[in-house]
Amino acid sequence: MSKSVDAAVIGAGCFGAWTAYHLQRAGKKVFLVDAYGPANSRASSGGESRVIRMGYGHDEIYTRWAMRALTLWQEFFRHTDEQLFYRTGVLWMAHDEDAYVTATLATLQSSGVEVERLSRQELLRRYPQIDFGPVTWAVFEPESGVLMARRAVQRVVQEAIRGGLHYLHETIRTPVGPNGNARLDSIETSGGEHIFADSFVFACGPWLPKLFPELLRDLIHPTRQEVFFFGTPAGHHGFAPPLMPVWLDFQEQIYTIPDLEGRGFKVAIDRHGPVCDPDQMERVVTSDGLREVREYLARRVPAMKDAPVLETRVCQYENTSNGDFLIDRHPSFQNVWLVGGGSGHGFKHGPVLGEYVAAQVAGDGGPIEPRFTLAAKEKVHKRAIF
């Protein structure tokens, strides 16, 4: 059995779903393939919530992509009449001399993003439920917030299917072929089915180095990341919007998301965890991880000191050497694109990344951004993009 399409996209996470959606909207006949299903629990896109913020230090390219992405997310939600974005605002906590947050403020201002610089006095007045400790000032993005990740990705896939996209729940074998600038004719599923396409996009997140081990195993490293949801005090509204924003505390390498839809106050350690296998990893949090976030809550949010754990999650980042995305052709196949390296900050960019990749596949996307190329990826990991 075989099928022939204009483009086959392998991976139905945020990057793959949006790429397939844009290709389908451009009139292409598209196959979307995933081994576990759109935004499944093993996927980096499979969590309940993800932050969308504009700030990126000096990295204006990601600020402008995030601005475009937020517009596209909101347009999509209006089109589908489903609200999966919460405008909570995003608060960047800063210490006296904080080069990254200072650069973030300057880039947001020069890019036209609505932003406020808050003094410690303003922080204490606005957020009395937070103990700011050594934090002396902050940057606030009032238009940013939270995307309900799993449901949003599944909705993107549903809309693409309504528009004519073909979805296949299957695993695929690693494509093999000659070295050089050849073309890939087809991919084979584990069930023996062949999918023929003019172009192939592998947007497999943490599975990319498993599918292409010789090329990517030293360039993309999936790491294990723990997430905790804590129960808020009964009748207390101070841990949900509009009284509580998302906040980012890079000095502590912690981020939080307010209580949304009654799921609890989310706390996660942003520091890279141990390298993991997305297929076989046991997704049970550690006692050390829980201890660390409880110690943080006791210091920063006294009312949550003894809060019960409502839910836990273990997901993964798929990290490139510095955090830049990977968007490039496979060196052996001129019609094969490798798309990934979300590096823990990629989810928000899904719509604009999909738009960018679809244009590249169609041949009218212009030169590839040098930072996204394979040539820019190194084996020594020095995280620079947050």
- pLDDT surpasses 60 at 1: no
Chain segment 353-371, per-residue pLDDT in tens: 999 999 999 998 899 999 9
**How far is Cα 351 from Cα 243, in angstroms, rounded to an integer?**
29
Residue 303 DSSP SS3: helix
Radius of gyration of the chain (CA): 21
pLDDT-derived band of residue 381, with 50, 70 and 90 as boundaries? confident
What one-letter code names the amino acid at 358?
A
- pLDDT surpasses 60 at 322: yes
Tokens representing residue 96 in the block: 């006296």
Closest to 42 (Cα-Cα) out of 70, 12, 64: 12
Treating both helix axes as pointing N-terminal to C-terminal, what angle do 99-111 and 60-80 enclose, rounded to 10 degrees?
60
- pLDDT surpasses 80 at 254: yes
Mean pLDDT for 273-289 is 96
Cβ-contact 345, 385 below 8 angstroms: yes
**Fold of the domain spanning 2-46+150-220+322-376:** FAD/NAD(P)-binding domain (3.50.50)
CATH number for the segment(s) 87-146+221-319: 3.30.9.10
Chain segment 65-85, per-residue pLDDT in tens: 999 999 999 999 999 999 999
Half-sphere exposure of 355 (CA within 13 A, CB side): 11
Mean pLDDT for 2-9 is 88
Chain segment 24-54, per-residue pLDDT in tens: 999 999 999 999 999 999 999 999 999 999 9
Tokens representing residue 211 in the block: 């599918």
| Other beta carbons within 10 Å of 177 | 13
User: Where are the domains positioned within the chain?
Assistant: 2-46+150-220+322-376, 87-146+221-319
pTM, two decimals, is: 0.96
**How far is Cα 226 from Cα 232, in angstroms, rounded to an integer?**
19
**What pLDDT does 224 receive?**
97
**What pLDDT does 191 receive?**
86
Pairing of strands 30-34, 50-52: unpaired
Chain segment 289-310, per-residue pLDDT in tens: 999 999 999 999 999 999 999 9
| Bridge partner residues of 197 (DSSP) | 5
Chain segment 127-180, per-residue pLDDT in tens: 999 999 999 999 999 999 999 999 999 999 999 999 999 999 999 998 876 666
What one-letter code names the amino acid at 326?
L
pLDDT-derived band of residue 4, with 50, 70 and 90 as boundaries? confident
| Average predicted confidence (pLDDT) for the chain | 95
